[in-house]
């Protein structure tokens, strides 16, 4: 079996991402994954600039999204979003409130 099917995380494939504020910086690890379609299963799901960070936007139930990364703890998906402040950036959504889309 491969490390990916056994859910083992090889440190060399993790990217370190920084977030938070100057007073309270936060770093976390993200593992790139194959681009995957997911569906929002909550009535509304916050997309944040980094896990547990400020809200960038909300997605409603049934919205289809494409994710390309997951945090090392397996709790947050990473996706590329249009930043309401302008341009594009990565956002993070809580995996528990999603399902794989067909």
The domain 11-100 is classified under which CATH number: 3.30.410, 1.10.3470, 3.30.470, 2.30.30?
2.30.30
* Tens digit of each residue's pLDDT (9 = 90 or more) over 75-92: 999 999 998 888 898 999
Domain ranges of the chain: 11-100
User: Confidence class of residue 27 from pLDDT cuts 50, 70 and 90?
Assistant: confident
pLDDT at 11: 58
CA-wise closest residue to 45 among 76, 74, 20: 76
* Tens digit of each residue's pLDDT (9 = 90 or more) over 35-59: 999 999 999 999 999 898 899 999 9
Beta-carbon contacts of 2 under 8 Å, excluding residues fewer than 6 positions away, are: none
pTM for the full predicted model: 0.79
Q: To the nearest whole number, what is the mean pLDDT of the chain?
A: 84
DSSP 95: G
């Amino acid at each position: 079996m491969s490390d990916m099917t056994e859910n083992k995380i090889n440190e060399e494939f993790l990217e370190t991402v920084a977030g938070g504020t100057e007073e309270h910086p936060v770093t976390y690890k993200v593992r790139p994954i194959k681009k995957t379609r997911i569906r929002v299963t909550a009535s509304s799901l916050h997309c944040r600039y980094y896990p547990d960070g400020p809200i960038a936007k909300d997605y409603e139930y049934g919205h289809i999204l494409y994710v390309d990364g997951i945090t090392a703890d397996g709790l947050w998906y990473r996706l590329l979003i249009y930043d309401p402040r302008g341009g594009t950036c990565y956002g993070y959504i809580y995996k528990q409130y999603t399902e794989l889309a067909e």
